[in-house]
Chain A
């Protein structure tokens, strides 16, 4: 009972203040009908209540790791901040339509946000109304809704979003005219490889130097004459005459060995008497007469003597440049007193070759000759004719053979063979003057000839060749066939050129050199070797051109579609220029002419000393539109003048109008 009373009391204490009217009625019902059922129901109620409360508590205690709204705001703020700071937003707005801008910005935002985020971006632009802005000077007046354009990208959700707005203004820059140097300096010779017209005049005579060539000792004099001879104007014919002349006074030095036969009878040989060279028609007198030929040049020529009979020896055989020494050697040489057993021609040649090739006095530049006298056939026992002939051939030594006496007169075949095989000739000495022509033969051998010669003169593209003068045009060269050049047959060639005033290649040239760098003579020498020789003579003349140039010296954007430019037209050439049109085009010179002015006659101080109107300034030429303006002179080719510098251009325009951009973004997490 006590326990029962306590439960009741408890129930009473708990229910009375806490339960509502319905609960109280139910309790009263249980109390009246079944006190035990009441206790049980109360316990169950308390237990259920506690379990429910605990579950509710647990649910509330359970936390979440999901990203908070504060974190989301930070991430979104970081992204927008970075896109703005890196210039992405500005660049995107500046170079895209509103629709594209909104799409690109939205995509960039979504790319940098964590997964699960989405965004909507709206871009609005307000174009400035300059007039209203100037009048009212309020934001609404400057950027009215009438000038408003909007575009957006992305969907939208109304729950848990973060939004923001960014403002950007694109300010209109002041109008400007940029003077452009679009047409850079033009070098007509660039890449042509031909530098035949110097940019600066070379003083007359500076290029004339004494002709001297080491090619085989060939000495050629070149010369050039030009008509007119003071200056050349464009469109004027120029006659150029070239000559090439071989100087015969210069020849190779001679090394000559005279090989005498001392087996000849005293009377004819001259004996050992003091007057030995006075005996008419003696061998000594024949050779002495030959040695006294006036064309020897003993400043460079050298002569040696050797003798042979049964054997060979030197008769003062050293090569020296002294006529007196050799004359003495010839005249004092003693004949054999009786016929020797042998006639050692080969041994005589052997000693002569030894002398000509002796290292101590060998001169490679000298032409080497042997003059051999004999009255009989060879029967040397120390060497053979074949051996010595081969040696002479190897050393480029020419042997002239001279037969004397009746035996040889009847049988000269051997001596002829020696001469033939070494490039010489055979003579029969009937008297002391029989060798008069021998020196002339030797002189021919030591004078170079220019065979198959030709002269090549370069030209440049655009130069008119009025007359080739017998030459032919090969590529860019005029080539003359000069044939064989020798002292008696110089070559002369004449050709006529014309330099058109309207040829760009002649623009800016103030002097011309004829025939010009790159002119050369090609010939083949007597050895078959081909040589190229620079044509080192030239003449340089002033060159006069007619050259008008136009230059836009300034420009100004006065207002919208209102520009003004200044133009200078100048005669920079040496020839006067007649009146030409000054024309203006927009964007391209093929578009219709927008304005045309007249450039008056412009003189030059070259043709008109004291000339003051060599240029004309056109100031403040107005156009009622913006863009690139082209100014041209003489584009109708009304006068013949240098076509370079005849066009100039300028870009005159204002920038885009001032515009305000508003970027609204809304970001949420799906």
Chain B
């Protein structure tokens, strides 16, 4: 009888410890899993923003003379005359056409995310929208040439929480 009583107590203690650990593990796992998902999203945003900024500073866009066309005719914006050398006309056109924000997001391939582009150099030019509240955001910068001088092209990609 004493033996059985002892075994039951051991079992109860062991089971209780197991349940506590299990609950702790499940809770922590859920939390970390959410963090992981969010970090994964940030990584996706990072990759996307790197690709977009790379495209903007290294290509002329599609079609190449898109700055003279309308938004409907624009397929993919690119701001470069040459590799990492930006065009004044394309920068200006990009800033103007981005007033049609949702359409420009589509052209940039950013359906799920929002963006704000900023160029600081001989001229200061921006396009897109700044985040109005807390958001997960990725900020990238590229050193470029504009009008023979060095400037910085910045892209902020974000998703509101």
Instruction: Judge whether A43 and B143 touch: CB under 8 Å.
Output: no
Please, how many angstroms separate the alpha-carbon atoms of A545 and B42 in the complex? 92
Q: Known contacts A85-B85, A112-B150; is A63 also within 8 Å of B39 by CB?
A: yes
Instruction: Judge whether B42 and A65 touch: CB under 8 Å.
Output: yes
Instruction: Judge whether B39 and A86 touch: CB under 8 Å.
Output: no
Among the listed stretches A73-81, A192-200, A350-358, A364-372, which one makes contact with chain B, having 4 or more residues with CB under 8 Å of it? A73-81
Q: Please pick, from B14, B33, B148, B149, the residue contacting A40 in the complex, using a CB distance under 8 A.
A: B14
Please, how many angstroms separate the alpha-carbon atoms of A514 and B83 in the complex? 75
Q: Within residues 22 to 72 of chain B, which ones have a CB less than 8 A from any CB in chain A?
A: 24-25, 28-29, 32-33, 35-36, 39, 42-43, 50
Instruction: Judge whether B35 and A61 touch: CB under 8 Å.
Output: yes
Check if A206 is an interface residue, CB within 8 A of chain B: no
CB-CB under 8 A from B35, the residues of chain A are 61-63
Check if A31 is an interface residue, CB within 8 A of chain B: no
Q: Please pick, from A54, A57, A61, A82, the residue contacting B145 in the complex, using a CB distance under 8 A.
A: A82
Q: Within residues 40 to 76 of chain A, which ones have a CB less than 8 A from any CB in chain B?
A: 40, 43-44, 47, 50-51, 54, 57-58, 61-63, 65, 71, 74-75
CB-CB under 8 A from A54, the residues of chain B are 24-25, 28-29
Instruction: Judge whether B84 and A78 touch: CB under 8 Å.
Output: yes
Q: Nearest A residue to B39 by beta-carbon distance?
A: A63
Q: Known contacts A51-B21, A78-B144; is A3 also within 8 Å of B11 by CB?
A: yes
Check if B141 is an interface residue, CB within 8 A of chain A: yes
Please, how many angstroms separate the alpha-carbon atoms of A50 and B17 in the complex? 12
Q: Nearest B residue to A54 by beta-carbon distance?
A: B25
Q: Please pick, from A4, A43, A74, the residue contacting B14 in the complex, using a CB distance under 8 A.
A: A43
CB-CB under 8 A from A81, the residues of chain B are 83-84, 143
Check if B142 is an interface residue, CB within 8 A of chain A: yes
Check if B7 is an interface residue, CB within 8 A of chain A: yes
Check if A662 is an interface residue, CB within 8 A of chain B: no
Min CB distance B84 to A, Å, is: 6
Most buried by B among A44, A57, A65, A78: A78
Instruction: Judge whether A79 and B143 touch: CB under 8 Å.
Output: yes
Instruction: Judge whether A74 and B142 touch: CB under 8 Å.
Output: yes
Interface string of B119-147 (1 = CB under 8 A from A): 00000000000000000000011111100
Please, how many angstroms separate the alpha-carbon atoms of A81 and B148 in the complex? 13
CB-CB under 8 A from A71, the residues of chain B are 50, 140
Min CB distance B146 to A, Å, is: 10
Q: Please pick, from A47, A85, A112, A114, the residue contacting B17 in the complex, using a CB distance under 8 A.
A: A47
Instruction: Judge whether A61 and B141 touch: CB under 8 Å.
Output: no
Most buried by A among B25, B42, B143: B143
- Chain A interface category by residue count: 20 to 34
Please, how many angstroms separate the alpha-carbon atoms of A51 and B17 in the complex? 11
Interface of A is mostly: helix
Q: Please pick, from B28, B29, B43, B143, the residue contacting A112 in the complex, using a CB distance under 8 A.
A: B143
Check if A39 is an interface residue, CB within 8 A of chain B: yes
Q: Nearest B residue to A63 by beta-carbon distance?
A: B39
Q: Within residues 64 to 121 of chain A, which ones have a CB less than 8 A from any CB in chain B?
A: 65, 71, 74-75, 78-79, 81-83, 85-86, 112, 114
Check if B10 is an interface residue, CB within 8 A of chain A: yes
CB-CB under 8 A from A58, the residues of chain B are 28-29, 32
Check if A36 is an interface residue, CB within 8 A of chain B: yes
Most buried by A among B32, B141, B149, B150: B150
Min CB distance A1 to B, Å, is: 9
CB-CB under 8 A from B149, the residues of chain A are 86
CB-CB under 8 A from A43, the residues of chain B are 10, 14, 17-18
Interface string of A640-660 (1 = CB under 8 A from B): 000000000000000000000
CB-CB under 8 A from A40, the residues of chain B are 10, 13-14
Q: Known contacts A63-B35, A63-B36, A78-B143; is A50 also within 8 Å of B21 by CB?
A: yes
Min CB distance B85 to A, Å, is: 7
Q: Please pick, from B7, B144, B148, the residue contacting A3 in the complex, using a CB distance under 8 A.
A: B7
Q: Please pick, from A51, A61, A65, A78, the residue contacting B36 in the complex, using a CB distance under 8 A.
A: A61
Most buried by B among A44, A63, A83: A63
Please, how many angstroms separate the alpha-carbon atoms of A179 and B25 in the complex? 90
Min CB distance B39 to A, Å, is: 4
Please, how many angstroms separate the alpha-carbon atoms of A63 and B143 in the complex? 27
Most buried by A among B14, B33, B148: B14
Q: Known contacts A47-B18, A50-B21; is A85 also within 8 Å of B145 by CB?
A: yes
Q: Within residues 405 to 461 of chain A, which ones have a CB less than 8 A from any CB in chain B?
A: none
Instruction: Judge whether A61 and B32 touch: CB under 8 Å.
Output: yes
Q: Nearest B residue to A85 by beta-carbon distance?
A: B145
CB-CB under 8 A from A39, the residues of chain B are 7, 10, 14
Q: Nearest B residue to A111 by beta-carbon distance?
A: B150
Q: Known contacts A47-B18, A86-B150, A112-B150; is A75 also within 8 Å of B10 by CB?
A: no
CB-CB under 8 A from A3, the residues of chain B are 7, 11
Please, how many angstroms separate the alpha-carbon atoms of A78 and B85 in the complex? 11
Q: Nearest A residue to B10 by beta-carbon distance?
A: A40
Q: Known contacts A63-B35, A86-B148, A112-B150; is A78 also within 8 Å of B142 by CB?
A: yes
Please, how many angstroms separate the alpha-carbon atoms of A39 and B33 in the complex? 33
CB-CB under 8 A from B21, the residues of chain A are 47, 50-51
Q: Please pick, from B84, B141, B145, the residue contacting A75 in the complex, using a CB distance under 8 A.
A: B141
Please, how many angstroms separate the alpha-carbon atoms of A44 and B18 in the complex? 9
Please, how many angstroms separate the alpha-carbon atoms of A65 and B13 in the complex? 42
Q: Known contacts A81-B143, A86-B149; is A36 also within 8 Å of B6 by CB?
A: yes
Please, how many angstroms separate the alpha-carbon atoms of A57 and B28 in the complex? 10
Min CB distance B50 to A, Å, is: 8
Q: Please pick, from A51, A62, A83, the residue contacting B32 in the complex, using a CB distance under 8 A.
A: A62
Please, how many angstroms separate the alpha-carbon atoms of A81 and B18 in the complex? 60
Q: Within residues 489 to 506 of chain A, which ones have a CB less than 8 A from any CB in chain B?
A: none
Please, how many angstroms separate the alpha-carbon atoms of A58 and B145 in the complex? 44
Please, how many angstroms separate the alpha-carbon atoms of A74 and B148 in the complex? 21
CB-CB under 8 A from B83, the residues of chain A are 81
Min CB distance B11 to A, Å, is: 7
CB-CB under 8 A from B50, the residues of chain A are 71, 74
CB-CB under 8 A from A114, the residues of chain B are 141
Please, how many angstroms separate the alpha-carbon atoms of A371 and B137 in the complex? 119
Min CB distance B153 to A, Å, is: 9
Please, how many angstroms separate the alpha-carbon atoms of A57 and B33 in the complex? 11
Please, how many angstroms separate the alpha-carbon atoms of A40 and B11 in the complex? 8
Q: Nearest A residue to B40 by beta-carbon distance?
A: A63
Please, how many angstroms separate the alpha-carbon atoms of A81 and B83 in the complex? 10
Min CB distance B53 to A, Å, is: 9
Interface string of B1-17 (1 = CB under 8 A from A): 00100110011011001
Please, how many angstroms separate the alpha-carbon atoms of A58 and B3 in the complex? 40
Extra A-B contacts (5), CB below 8 Å, given A63-B42, A86-B145: A3-B7, A4-B7, A54-B24, A78-B142, A81-B84
Closest 4 CB pairs of A and B: A63-B39, A78-B143, A43-B14, A82-B143
**CB pairs A–B below 8 angstroms (29 shown):** A3-B11, A36-B7, A39-B14, A40-B13, A43-B18, A44-B14, A44-B17, A47-B17, A47-B18, A50-B25, A51-B24, A54-B25, A54-B29, A57-B32, A58-B29, A58-B32, A61-B36, A62-B32, A65-B42, A71-B140, A74-B50, A75-B142, A78-B142, A78-B143, A81-B143, A82-B143, A83-B150, A85-B85, A86-B148
* Partner-B contacts on A (CB < 8 A): 3-4, 36, 39-40, 43-44, 47, 50-51, 54, 57-58, 61-63, 65, 71, 74-75, 78-79, 81-83, 85-86, 112, 114
